[in-house]
Amino acid sequence: MEYLNQIILRRKNGFCMPVGMVEVETPAKAQLVLTANSQMVLCGYTLSKAAVEALLAYPEEILIQILTEVLKQVDSLSGNNRSYLPFYKNFPHEVLDLTEAELYWNAILHYLSGGQIYPQLAERSAANGDNKQSYEKLLSSAGTLTVLEILDSKVAEDIAENLAYSTVGISPSDLADLQVIMEKTSVVLDYNRVSCKETAAFLSGILLNNKQDFASVQILNKTIRDIIRTAASLSGADVSLSKKPHFKSFKRSVRRQFLGLIEKQKFVAEDWKSNHTMLIRLGERLHPAEYTKQFPQTAAHFKLIRETNKIRTFNTDIERLLQQGYHWEAAEKLSQRPGDFARRLNQLLKNAFPDEQQAILGEFAKVAHKVPLNTLLQLRQFFNKAHEEKESRVFFIKGTTTKTFMKEEHNQGLPKITALEAVKICEDALTEKFKSQKRFNKVYIDPVMGDFLVPFGQRSQNKSSRPVSRGSRFKIPIGQKNTIRLFVWWKNIFRKRRIRMKTDSQSSESEQSFVTELASPEIISEDEAVTEDNIFFDLDMLEFDSLFDESFIEDEDYSFEERMVEERTDIDLSLACYDSEMKPIVDISYYNLRDKGLTHSGDIVNASGPKGAAEFIDICLDQLDERICYIIPQINVYSWQNFRELSAEESCSFGWMQIDQDDPKPLFRPRDVQFRMDIQSESNRVAPVLFDLKDKALTWLDLSVGKGLTELNNIHYTKSEFFRQMTAIRNLNKPSLETLLQLKFQAEDAIVGREEADVIFGLERGDNDQARLITPFETDVFLDYLTDCQ
Instruction: Tell me the pLDDT tens digit for each residue of 124-152.
Output: 455 555 444 444 554 445 457 888 888 88
* Residue 511 reports pLDDT greater than 50: no
List, for residues 52-99, the tens digit of each pLDDT value.
888 888 888 888 888 998 998 888 888 888 888 899 988 888 898 889
* Residue 215 reports pLDDT greater than 90: no
Q: Find which of 43-47, 209-213, 562-566, 659-663 is predicted with most confidence, using mean pLDDT.
A: 43-47
The predicted structure's pLDDT at residue 699: 87
The predicted structure's pLDDT at residue 311: 67
Integer Cα distance of 715 and 708 in angstroms: 12
The residue count for the chain: 790
Quick one: pLDDT band at residue 604, thresholds 50, 70, 90? very high
Integer Cα distance of 408 and 197 in angstroms: 32
- Tell me the chain's radius of gyration from C-alpha atoms: 29
> In the 8-state DSSP scheme, what is residue 741?
H
Integer Cα distance of 358 and 352 in angstroms: 10
List, for residues 745-769, the tens digit of each pLDDT value.
998 888 999 999 999 999 888 888 8
Quick one: pLDDT band at residue 614, thresholds 50, 70, 90? very high
Quick one: pLDDT band at residue 709, thresholds 50, 70, 90? very low
| Segment among 246-260, 297-311, 555-569, 687-701 with least mean pLDDT | 555-569
Percentage of the chain lying above the pLDDT 70 cut: 80
Q: CB–CB of 790/433 below 8 Å?
A: yes
The predicted structure's pLDDT at residue 594: 93
Q: What are phi and psi of 495, to 5 degrees?
A: -140, 150
Percentage of the chain lying above the pLDDT 90 cut: 20
Q: Where are the beta strands (DSSP E) in 428-539?
A: 443-445, 463-464, 473-475, 483-490, 493-502
Of the two residues 435 and 518, the one the predictor is more confident about is 435
> In the 8-state DSSP scheme, what is residue 551?
G
Average model confidence (pLDDT) across the chain = 80
Of the two residues 709 and 676, the one the predictor is more confident about is 676
Strand order in the sheet with 697-704: 473-475, 697-704, 685-692, 630-637, 571-578, 584-588
Q: CB–CB of 655/78 below 8 Å?
A: no
The predicted structure's pLDDT at residue 716: 62
Residue 296 CA to its chain's centroid (Å): 43
String of DSSP letters for 184-229: HS-----GGG---HHHHHHHHHHHHHTT--HHHHHHH--SHHHHHH
Integer Cα distance of 228 and 246 in angstroms: 11
Q: Which residues are CB-contacts of 55 (< 8 A; sequence separation ≥ 6)? A: 17, 29, 33, 47, 63, 66, 67, 150
Q: Which residues are CB-contacts of 357 (< 8 A; sequence separation ≥ 6)? A: 349, 415, 418
* Residue 285 reports pLDDT greater than 70: yes
The predicted structure's pLDDT at residue 525: 39
284: helix, strand or coil: helix
Q: CB–CB of 387/415 below 8 Å?
A: yes
Q: What are phi and psi of 510, to 5 degrees?
A: -65, -35
The predicted structure's pLDDT at residue 304: 83
* Of 577, 551, 684, 704, the residue nearest 632 (C-alpha): 577
